[in-house]
Chains A and B, each alone.
Chain A
């Protein structure tokens, strides 16, 4: 069974802390994505990566960075967490081909206080 796992389901951090959200996929997928989901706004793309060490900005990259050192792992980094980054964070992976449906992890609900 295909799997995308995220390091935590729930996380509480303080303003100004550096936060790491980890995502691992076991499907040997080239592409990986980070989204945030907020009520009334749907899913918005933060960053994505289509190869190891490659990254592309999504629609809302400000305040975030990413790291992809290995094919199976894609990390989202909040350099200095702020309260407006309180959200649900979803990771996904896909193949780059024409079908290329995305497989999502269960999400991490981050609260910044």
Chain B
């Protein structure tokens, strides 16, 4: 199973872009990368996912390298409410029986 490696923690100034890196060097060609975040005492919340193209939604952007061995989640204007643990996940399996392989996540602290 593919696994992910993320920095344990990061700080970011409020209003600045937060760039969270993830390595997934053993990812297979049909395995998607997902990002979730978990705010204290809550269940993880979906942010974004992608396969090989860059993706953007109202929460974040996902940049995936051409060789797909790494990706970066970008929160364009971090706020204090973005303080959370961010998980980079590879989804493995076949249609109908997908499952996630979670890493240990990056604890992002947004500073006022």
Interface residues of A (CB under 8 A from B): 4, 30-31, 33, 35, 40-45, 48, 50, 56, 58, 90, 92, 94, 96-107
Residues of A within 8 A of B46 (CB): 101-103
List 18 A-B residue pairs with CB atoms under 8 Å apart, sorted by A's residue number: A31-B96, A31-B98, A42-B87, A43-B102, A45-B99, A45-B100, A58-B99, A96-B96, A99-B49, A100-B91, A100-B98, A101-B46, A101-B49, A102-B44, A102-B100, A104-B44, A106-B42, A107-B42
Contact yes or no, B96 A30, CB < 8 A: yes
Residues of A within 8 A of B34 (CB): 101
- Smallest beta-carbon distance B59→chain A, Å: 12
Contact yes or no, B43 A40, CB < 8 A: no
Residues of B within 8 A of A90 (CB): 43-44
Contact yes or no, A106 B43, CB < 8 A: yes
Contact yes or no, B95 A96, CB < 8 A: yes
Complex: how many Å from CA A97 to CA B95?
A: 7
Count residues on chain B whose CB falls below 8 Å from chain A CBs.
21
Partner of A107, one of B43, B45, B95, B102: B43
Known contacts A4-B43, A31-B98, A92-B44, then 11 further A-B pairs from the complex at CB < 8 Å, ordered by chain A residue: A33-B100, A41-B104, A42-B103, A43-B87, A43-B102, A48-B99, A96-B95, A96-B98, A102-B36, A104-B44, A105-B43
Complex: how many Å from CA A86 to CA B102?
A: 20
Complex: how many Å from CA A98 to CA B105?
A: 24
Among B87, B95, B99, B104, residue most surrounded by chain A Cβ atoms (within 10 Å): B99
Complex: how many Å from CA A99 to CA B36?
A: 14
